Structure 1
Amino acid sequence: MKILIVEDEAGISNFLKQGLEEEGYIVFVAADGLTGLETVKKETPDLILLDWMLPKLTGLEVCEAIRTYDKKTPILFLTAKDTVQETIDGLRAGANDYIKKPFSFEELLERIKIHFRNDTKTDVLTLGTISINPLSHQVFVGDKEVMLTQKEYDLLKYLVERKGTVCTRNSIIEDVWDIHFEYDTGVIDVFINAIRKKLNLSKDVELLKTIRGVGYIANEN
Protein backbone atom coordinates (compact mmCIF):
# COMPACT_ATOMS: atom_id res chain seq x y z
CA MET A 1 0.00 0.00 0.00
CA LYS A 2 1.23 3.49 -0.87
CA ILE A 3 1.20 6.42 1.56
CA LEU A 4 1.96 10.04 0.70
CA ILE A 5 3.26 12.34 3.44
CA VAL A 6 2.84 16.05 2.69
CA GLU A 7 4.84 17.77 5.44
CA ASP A 8 7.28 20.68 5.31
CA GLU A 9 9.14 19.78 8.53
CA ALA A 10 11.85 17.38 7.38
CA GLY A 11 12.34 15.90 10.84
CA ILE A 12 8.69 14.82 11.03
CA SER A 13 8.44 13.53 7.47
CA ASN A 14 11.71 11.57 7.72
CA PHE A 15 10.62 10.01 11.01
CA LEU A 16 7.23 9.01 9.59
CA LYS A 17 8.72 7.73 6.34
CA GLN A 18 11.18 5.48 8.14
CA GLY A 19 8.58 4.14 10.55
CA LEU A 20 5.99 3.45 7.85
CA GLU A 21 8.50 1.79 5.52
CA GLU A 22 9.50 -0.50 8.39
CA GLU A 23 5.83 -1.47 8.56
CA GLY A 24 5.92 -2.46 4.89
CA TYR A 25 4.30 0.60 3.30
CA ILE A 26 5.58 2.33 0.17
CA VAL A 27 6.07 5.96 1.18
CA PHE A 28 6.36 9.17 -0.84
CA VAL A 29 7.16 12.57 0.67
CA ALA A 30 6.33 16.08 -0.53
CA ALA A 31 7.54 19.21 1.29
CA ASP A 32 4.94 21.68 -0.01
CA GLY A 33 1.32 21.70 -1.04
CA LEU A 34 1.88 22.09 -4.76
CA THR A 35 4.35 19.21 -4.93
CA GLY A 36 1.98 17.16 -2.80
CA LEU A 37 -0.86 17.71 -5.24
CA GLU A 38 1.35 16.77 -8.19
CA THR A 39 2.52 13.62 -6.37
CA VAL A 40 -1.07 12.54 -5.72
CA LYS A 41 -1.78 12.62 -9.45
CA LYS A 42 1.45 10.85 -10.36
CA GLU A 43 1.64 8.14 -7.70
CA THR A 44 -2.07 7.59 -6.83
CA PRO A 45 -1.40 6.87 -3.13
CA ASP A 46 -3.78 4.71 -1.09
CA LEU A 47 -3.71 7.14 1.87
CA ILE A 48 -2.50 10.72 2.39
CA LEU A 49 -1.02 12.23 5.56
CA LEU A 50 -1.45 15.97 5.11
CA ASP A 51 -0.05 18.82 7.19
CA TRP A 52 -2.26 21.90 7.46
CA MET A 53 0.34 24.69 7.30
CA LEU A 54 2.30 24.17 4.07
CA PRO A 55 4.21 26.39 1.62
CA LYS A 56 2.70 27.22 -1.79
CA LEU A 57 -0.68 25.58 -1.06
CA THR A 58 -2.15 24.99 2.38
CA GLY A 59 -3.24 21.53 3.43
CA LEU A 60 -6.83 22.70 3.27
CA GLU A 61 -6.38 23.83 -0.34
CA VAL A 62 -4.67 20.56 -1.25
CA CYS A 63 -7.48 18.56 0.33
CA GLU A 64 -10.15 20.55 -1.48
CA ALA A 65 -8.30 20.16 -4.80
CA ILE A 66 -7.97 16.38 -4.39
CA ARG A 67 -11.65 16.01 -3.59
CA THR A 68 -12.65 17.61 -6.89
CA TYR A 69 -11.60 14.39 -8.66
CA ASP A 70 -10.96 11.79 -5.94
CA LYS A 71 -13.66 11.15 -3.35
CA LYS A 72 -12.27 7.89 -1.97
CA THR A 73 -8.62 8.10 -0.93
CA PRO A 74 -8.40 8.60 2.87
CA ILE A 75 -6.87 11.93 3.89
CA LEU A 76 -5.61 12.38 7.46
CA PHE A 77 -4.71 15.87 8.65
CA LEU A 78 -1.62 16.11 10.88
CA THR A 79 -1.75 19.51 12.53
CA ALA A 80 -1.39 21.60 15.66
CA LYS A 81 -4.66 23.34 14.83
CA ASP A 82 -7.37 22.01 17.10
CA THR A 83 -10.20 24.52 17.39
CA VAL A 84 -13.68 23.27 16.69
CA GLN A 85 -14.04 25.50 13.63
CA GLU A 86 -10.71 24.39 12.16
CA THR A 87 -11.68 20.77 12.65
CA ILE A 88 -14.99 21.41 10.93
CA ASP A 89 -13.22 23.22 8.06
CA GLY A 90 -10.90 20.24 7.55
CA LEU A 91 -13.74 17.72 7.54
CA ARG A 92 -15.81 19.87 5.20
CA ALA A 93 -12.83 20.04 2.82
CA GLY A 94 -12.99 16.25 2.60
CA ALA A 95 -10.60 14.98 5.28
CA ASN A 96 -11.35 11.60 6.84
CA ASP A 97 -9.47 12.08 10.09
CA TYR A 98 -7.70 14.69 12.18
CA ILE A 99 -4.65 13.96 14.36
CA LYS A 100 -3.30 16.70 16.60
CA LYS A 101 0.45 17.28 16.90
CA PRO A 102 2.31 16.03 18.83
CA PHE A 103 1.03 12.48 18.39
CA SER A 104 2.42 9.02 19.02
CA PHE A 105 3.51 6.96 16.02
CA GLU A 106 1.62 3.98 17.44
CA GLU A 107 -1.65 5.92 17.44
CA LEU A 108 -1.07 7.13 13.89
CA LEU A 109 -0.27 3.60 12.76
CA GLU A 110 -3.50 2.23 14.24
CA ARG A 111 -5.55 4.96 12.61
CA ILE A 112 -3.93 4.22 9.25
CA LYS A 113 -4.77 0.53 9.64
CA ILE A 114 -8.37 1.38 10.48
CA HIS A 115 -8.72 3.53 7.36
CA PHE A 116 -7.22 0.80 5.19
CA ARG A 117 -9.69 -1.70 6.65
CA ASN A 118 -12.57 0.68 6.02
CA ASP A 119 -11.24 2.04 2.76
CA THR A 120 -13.74 1.78 -0.08
CA LYS A 121 -10.95 2.20 -2.62
CA THR A 122 -10.79 -1.50 -3.40
CA ASP A 123 -11.58 -1.34 -7.08
CA VAL A 124 -10.00 -4.20 -8.98
CA LEU A 125 -7.78 -3.13 -11.88
CA THR A 126 -8.57 -4.86 -15.17
CA LEU A 127 -6.92 -5.35 -18.53
CA GLY A 128 -8.88 -7.63 -20.81
CA THR A 129 -9.33 -10.87 -18.86
CA ILE A 130 -6.56 -9.87 -16.45
CA SER A 131 -7.58 -8.54 -13.05
CA ILE A 132 -5.43 -7.13 -10.24
CA ASN A 133 -6.55 -6.75 -6.64
CA PRO A 134 -4.38 -3.95 -5.15
CA LEU A 135 -5.26 -4.85 -1.56
CA SER A 136 -4.48 -8.57 -1.71
CA HIS A 137 -1.74 -8.19 -4.37
CA GLN A 138 -3.37 -11.01 -6.36
CA VAL A 139 -3.41 -11.28 -10.15
CA PHE A 140 -5.92 -13.38 -12.09
CA VAL A 141 -6.47 -14.34 -15.69
CA GLY A 142 -10.15 -15.14 -15.74
CA ASP A 143 -10.68 -17.09 -12.52
CA LYS A 144 -7.15 -18.54 -12.44
CA GLU A 145 -4.64 -16.91 -10.10
CA VAL A 146 -1.22 -16.14 -11.59
CA MET A 147 1.79 -15.97 -9.28
CA LEU A 148 4.11 -13.04 -10.04
CA THR A 149 7.22 -11.88 -8.26
CA GLN A 150 6.94 -8.58 -6.37
CA LYS A 151 8.69 -6.61 -9.09
CA GLU A 152 6.63 -8.28 -11.85
CA TYR A 153 3.50 -7.37 -9.91
CA ASP A 154 4.69 -3.77 -9.40
CA LEU A 155 5.45 -3.38 -13.11
CA LEU A 156 2.15 -4.88 -14.27
CA LYS A 157 0.15 -2.79 -11.81
CA TYR A 158 2.04 0.35 -12.85
CA LEU A 159 1.18 -0.18 -16.52
CA VAL A 160 -2.46 -1.15 -15.90
CA GLU A 161 -3.01 1.85 -13.61
CA ARG A 162 -1.94 3.98 -16.59
CA LYS A 163 -3.93 1.99 -19.13
CA GLY A 164 -4.09 3.74 -22.48
CA THR A 165 -1.01 5.87 -21.73
CA VAL A 166 2.47 5.17 -23.08
CA CYS A 167 4.90 4.71 -20.19
CA THR A 168 8.46 5.58 -21.14
CA ARG A 169 11.38 3.39 -20.15
CA ASN A 170 12.84 6.18 -18.02
CA SER A 171 9.59 6.72 -16.13
CA ILE A 172 9.28 2.98 -15.47
CA ILE A 173 12.84 2.72 -14.18
CA GLU A 174 12.34 5.76 -11.94
CA ASP A 175 8.89 4.87 -10.61
CA VAL A 176 8.97 1.06 -10.42
CA TRP A 177 12.67 0.48 -9.72
CA ASP A 178 13.20 3.81 -7.89
CA ILE A 179 16.39 4.40 -9.88
CA HIS A 180 17.08 8.06 -10.64
CA PHE A 181 20.35 7.83 -12.53
CA GLU A 182 21.46 6.49 -15.92
CA TYR A 183 20.70 2.79 -15.98
CA ASP A 184 20.30 0.02 -18.55
CA THR A 185 16.55 -0.05 -19.14
CA GLY A 186 16.90 -3.40 -20.92
CA VAL A 187 16.01 -5.02 -17.61
CA ILE A 188 12.41 -3.94 -18.26
CA ASP A 189 12.27 -6.17 -21.34
CA VAL A 190 13.18 -9.19 -19.22
CA PHE A 191 10.36 -8.50 -16.79
CA ILE A 192 7.82 -7.73 -19.52
CA ASN A 193 8.63 -11.03 -21.23
CA ALA A 194 8.29 -12.89 -17.94
CA ILE A 195 4.92 -11.25 -17.26
CA ARG A 196 3.66 -12.05 -20.76
CA LYS A 197 4.73 -15.67 -20.36
CA LYS A 198 3.04 -16.07 -16.97
CA LEU A 199 -0.14 -14.39 -18.24
CA ASN A 200 -0.01 -16.55 -21.38
CA LEU A 201 -0.05 -13.53 -23.67
CA SER A 202 0.99 -14.39 -27.21
CA LYS A 203 2.90 -11.84 -29.27
CA ASP A 204 -0.15 -11.02 -31.37
CA VAL A 205 -2.09 -9.99 -28.24
CA GLU A 206 -1.31 -6.35 -27.61
CA LEU A 207 -2.57 -5.95 -24.05
CA LEU A 208 1.02 -5.20 -23.07
CA LYS A 209 2.40 -3.53 -26.16
CA THR A 210 5.97 -2.46 -26.82
CA ILE A 211 6.33 1.02 -28.29
CA ARG A 212 9.69 0.77 -30.01
CA GLY A 213 12.21 3.33 -28.84
CA VAL A 214 9.81 4.71 -26.24
CA GLY A 215 8.42 2.23 -23.75
CA TYR A 216 5.25 0.23 -23.14
CA ILE A 217 1.50 0.63 -23.00
CA ALA A 218 -1.27 -1.43 -21.43
CA ASN A 219 -4.09 -1.17 -23.93
CA GLU A 220 -7.36 -2.98 -24.62
CA ASN A 221 -7.93 -1.39 -28.03
Structure 2
Amino acid sequence: MPAWIEYFAVAVCAISGVLAAEGKRMDLFGVMVLALVTAVGGGTIRDLCLGAQPVFWIKQPMHVWTALIAAVAMFVFVRFTHVPPRLLLLADAFGLALFGIAGTEKALAFGVPGVVAVLLGVVTGVAGGILRDVLRCEVPWVFQAEVYLYATAAFAGALVFVLLRQWFPASESDRYIGMAVILSLRLAAIRWKLRLPTFRSRISEL
Protein backbone atom coordinates (compact mmCIF):
# COMPACT_ATOMS: atom_id res chain seq x y z
CA MET A 1 0.00 0.00 0.00
CA PRO A 2 1.57 3.34 -1.03
CA ALA A 3 2.13 5.56 2.01
CA TRP A 4 0.30 8.52 0.46
CA ILE A 5 -3.00 6.62 0.50
CA GLU A 6 -2.98 6.16 4.28
CA TYR A 7 -1.85 9.76 4.89
CA PHE A 8 -4.55 11.06 2.56
CA ALA A 9 -7.12 8.88 4.33
CA VAL A 10 -6.02 10.27 7.71
CA ALA A 11 -6.33 13.86 6.45
CA VAL A 12 -9.74 13.32 4.88
CA CYS A 13 -11.12 11.58 7.96
CA ALA A 14 -9.76 14.35 10.19
CA ILE A 15 -11.57 16.88 8.02
CA SER A 16 -14.80 14.90 8.33
CA GLY A 17 -14.33 14.93 12.11
CA VAL A 18 -14.04 18.72 12.09
CA LEU A 19 -17.14 19.11 9.92
CA ALA A 20 -19.07 16.75 12.20
CA ALA A 21 -18.38 19.10 15.13
CA GLU A 22 -20.55 21.82 13.59
CA GLY A 23 -23.32 22.88 15.96
CA LYS A 24 -21.78 21.07 18.95
CA ARG A 25 -20.19 24.24 20.39
CA MET A 26 -16.75 22.62 20.73
CA ASP A 27 -13.57 24.64 21.16
CA LEU A 28 -10.43 24.01 19.09
CA PHE A 29 -9.18 21.32 21.48
CA GLY A 30 -12.46 19.42 21.33
CA VAL A 31 -12.53 19.63 17.54
CA MET A 32 -8.96 18.34 17.32
CA VAL A 33 -9.79 15.40 19.58
CA LEU A 34 -12.83 14.57 17.45
CA ALA A 35 -10.77 14.82 14.26
CA LEU A 36 -7.95 12.65 15.65
CA VAL A 37 -10.32 9.94 16.88
CA THR A 38 -12.04 9.89 13.48
CA ALA A 39 -8.72 9.69 11.64
CA VAL A 40 -6.98 6.94 13.63
CA GLY A 41 -9.76 5.12 15.48
CA GLY A 42 -10.52 2.48 12.86
CA GLY A 43 -6.88 1.74 12.12
CA THR A 44 -6.14 1.44 15.83
CA ILE A 45 -8.83 -1.20 16.34
CA ARG A 46 -7.61 -3.04 13.23
CA ASP A 47 -4.02 -3.13 14.48
CA LEU A 48 -5.08 -4.31 17.92
CA CYS A 49 -7.07 -7.15 16.34
CA LEU A 50 -4.10 -8.11 14.17
CA GLY A 51 -1.61 -7.85 17.02
CA ALA A 52 0.35 -5.21 15.08
CA GLN A 53 2.49 -3.54 17.71
CA PRO A 54 2.89 -0.66 18.00
CA VAL A 55 -0.24 0.57 16.23
CA PHE A 56 0.31 2.49 13.03
CA TRP A 57 0.15 6.05 14.37
CA ILE A 58 2.54 5.28 17.24
CA LYS A 59 4.98 3.63 14.85
CA GLN A 60 4.67 6.56 12.43
CA PRO A 61 3.72 9.72 14.39
CA MET A 62 3.47 11.69 11.14
CA HIS A 63 -0.06 10.30 10.89
CA VAL A 64 -0.93 12.24 14.05
CA TRP A 65 0.62 15.42 12.70
CA THR A 66 -1.24 14.97 9.41
CA ALA A 67 -4.56 14.66 11.22
CA LEU A 68 -3.91 17.64 13.50
CA ILE A 69 -2.70 19.91 10.69
CA ALA A 70 -5.71 19.01 8.53
CA ALA A 71 -8.04 19.59 11.50
CA VAL A 72 -6.62 23.03 12.34
CA ALA A 73 -6.66 24.08 8.68
CA MET A 74 -10.32 23.07 8.29
CA PHE A 75 -11.22 24.67 11.65
CA VAL A 76 -9.84 27.99 10.42
CA PHE A 77 -11.33 27.57 6.94
CA VAL A 78 -14.91 27.05 8.10
CA ARG A 79 -14.77 30.17 10.27
CA PHE A 80 -14.45 32.31 7.15
CA THR A 81 -16.22 30.28 4.49
CA HIS A 82 -19.60 28.59 4.31
CA VAL A 83 -19.15 24.85 3.89
CA PRO A 84 -22.04 22.95 2.26
CA PRO A 85 -23.40 20.15 4.47
CA ARG A 86 -22.73 17.62 1.71
CA LEU A 87 -18.99 18.21 2.09
CA LEU A 88 -19.10 16.10 5.27
CA LEU A 89 -20.70 13.25 3.32
CA LEU A 90 -18.11 13.59 0.56
CA ALA A 91 -15.13 13.66 2.94
CA ASP A 92 -16.51 10.71 4.86
CA ALA A 93 -17.07 8.75 1.64
CA PHE A 94 -13.45 9.25 0.56
CA GLY A 95 -12.20 8.28 4.01
CA LEU A 96 -14.38 5.16 3.94
CA ALA A 97 -13.01 4.12 0.54
CA LEU A 98 -9.36 4.76 1.37
CA PHE A 99 -9.32 3.25 4.85
CA GLY A 100 -11.58 0.36 3.88
CA ILE A 101 -9.08 -0.92 1.33
CA ALA A 102 -6.00 0.06 3.38
CA GLY A 103 -7.33 -1.98 6.28
CA THR A 104 -8.13 -4.96 4.09
CA GLU A 105 -4.69 -4.94 2.46
CA LYS A 106 -2.90 -4.71 5.80
CA ALA A 107 -4.96 -7.61 7.15
CA LEU A 108 -4.03 -9.72 4.13
CA ALA A 109 -0.36 -8.86 4.70
CA PHE A 110 -0.71 -10.42 8.16
CA GLY A 111 -1.87 -13.67 6.58
CA VAL A 112 -5.46 -13.72 7.84
CA PRO A 113 -8.18 -15.47 5.81
CA GLY A 114 -9.95 -13.43 3.15
CA VAL A 115 -13.23 -13.15 5.05
CA VAL A 116 -11.41 -11.82 8.12
CA ALA A 117 -9.53 -9.32 5.97
CA VAL A 118 -12.84 -8.07 4.55
CA LEU A 119 -14.31 -7.62 8.03
CA LEU A 120 -11.20 -5.80 9.27
CA GLY A 121 -11.38 -3.57 6.21
CA VAL A 122 -14.94 -2.65 7.16
CA VAL A 123 -13.84 -2.01 10.75
CA THR A 124 -11.00 0.21 9.57
CA GLY A 125 -13.39 2.20 7.40
CA VAL A 126 -16.28 2.68 9.83
CA ALA A 127 -14.93 2.45 13.39
CA GLY A 128 -13.44 5.94 13.41
CA GLY A 129 -16.81 7.36 12.41
CA ILE A 130 -18.54 5.33 15.10
CA LEU A 131 -16.22 6.75 17.77
CA ARG A 132 -16.73 10.24 16.34
CA ASP A 133 -20.51 9.97 16.54
CA VAL A 134 -20.44 8.51 20.05
CA LEU A 135 -18.30 11.44 21.23
CA ARG A 136 -20.77 13.91 19.75
CA CYS A 137 -23.67 12.05 21.40
CA GLU A 138 -25.35 10.84 18.22
CA VAL A 139 -26.37 7.44 16.88
CA PRO A 140 -23.43 6.31 14.69
CA TRP A 141 -24.04 6.65 10.98
CA VAL A 142 -23.39 2.96 10.40
CA PHE A 143 -26.52 2.13 12.45
CA GLN A 144 -28.82 4.63 10.71
CA ALA A 145 -30.92 3.41 7.78
CA GLU A 146 -31.04 6.99 6.47
CA VAL A 147 -27.25 6.98 5.98
CA TYR A 148 -27.37 5.01 2.78
CA LEU A 149 -25.11 1.97 2.14
CA TYR A 150 -22.37 2.94 4.56
CA ALA A 151 -20.79 -0.25 5.90
CA THR A 152 -22.34 -2.13 2.98
CA ALA A 153 -20.26 -0.12 0.51
CA ALA A 154 -17.10 -0.81 2.51
CA PHE A 155 -17.91 -4.53 2.62
CA ALA A 156 -18.53 -4.71 -1.14
CA GLY A 157 -15.34 -2.88 -2.04
CA ALA A 158 -13.23 -4.91 0.39
CA LEU A 159 -14.70 -8.14 -0.99
CA VAL A 160 -13.96 -7.12 -4.58
CA PHE A 161 -10.39 -6.23 -3.56
CA VAL A 162 -9.81 -9.59 -1.84
CA LEU A 163 -11.18 -11.53 -4.81
CA LEU A 164 -9.07 -9.57 -7.28
CA ARG A 165 -5.98 -10.06 -5.11
CA GLN A 166 -6.59 -13.83 -5.16
CA TRP A 167 -7.27 -14.00 -8.90
CA PHE A 168 -4.62 -11.49 -10.04
CA PRO A 169 -1.94 -11.43 -7.30
CA ALA A 170 0.53 -9.52 -9.47
CA SER A 171 -1.86 -6.67 -10.26
CA GLU A 172 -1.34 -3.23 -8.70
CA SER A 173 -4.71 -1.91 -9.77
CA ASP A 174 -6.84 -4.11 -7.51
CA ARG A 175 -6.68 -1.70 -4.56
CA TYR A 176 -7.82 1.21 -6.72
CA ILE A 177 -10.69 -0.83 -8.14
CA GLY A 178 -11.75 -1.68 -4.58
CA MET A 179 -11.63 1.98 -3.58
CA ALA A 180 -13.65 2.93 -6.66
CA VAL A 181 -16.30 0.35 -5.78
CA ILE A 182 -16.67 1.73 -2.24
CA LEU A 183 -16.72 5.36 -3.34
CA SER A 184 -19.10 4.74 -6.25
CA LEU A 185 -21.55 2.74 -4.15
CA ARG A 186 -21.54 5.29 -1.34
CA LEU A 187 -21.99 8.30 -3.63
CA ALA A 188 -24.66 6.53 -5.69
CA ALA A 189 -26.50 5.59 -2.50
CA ILE A 190 -26.42 9.21 -1.33
CA ARG A 191 -27.59 10.46 -4.73
CA TRP A 192 -30.43 7.98 -5.23
CA LYS A 193 -31.16 7.11 -1.58
CA LEU A 194 -30.27 3.44 -1.95
CA ARG A 195 -30.39 1.35 1.20
CA LEU A 196 -30.91 -2.14 2.51
CA PRO A 197 -34.32 -3.20 3.87
CA THR A 198 -34.91 -2.05 7.45
CA PHE A 199 -35.88 -4.45 10.22
CA ARG A 200 -39.63 -4.61 10.83
CA SER A 201 -41.30 -7.38 12.80
CA ARG A 202 -44.96 -8.27 12.54
CA ILE A 203 -45.49 -6.86 16.03
CA SER A 204 -44.02 -3.45 15.12
CA GLU A 205 -46.45 -3.18 12.21
CA LEU A 206 -49.52 -3.64 14.44
> How high is the TM-score relative to the length of structure 1?
0.27
> How high is the TM-score relative to the length of structure 2?
0.28
**Structure of greater relative contact order (alpha carbons < 8 Å, 6+ residues apart):** 2
User: Normalized per residue, which structure has more strand?
Assistant: 1
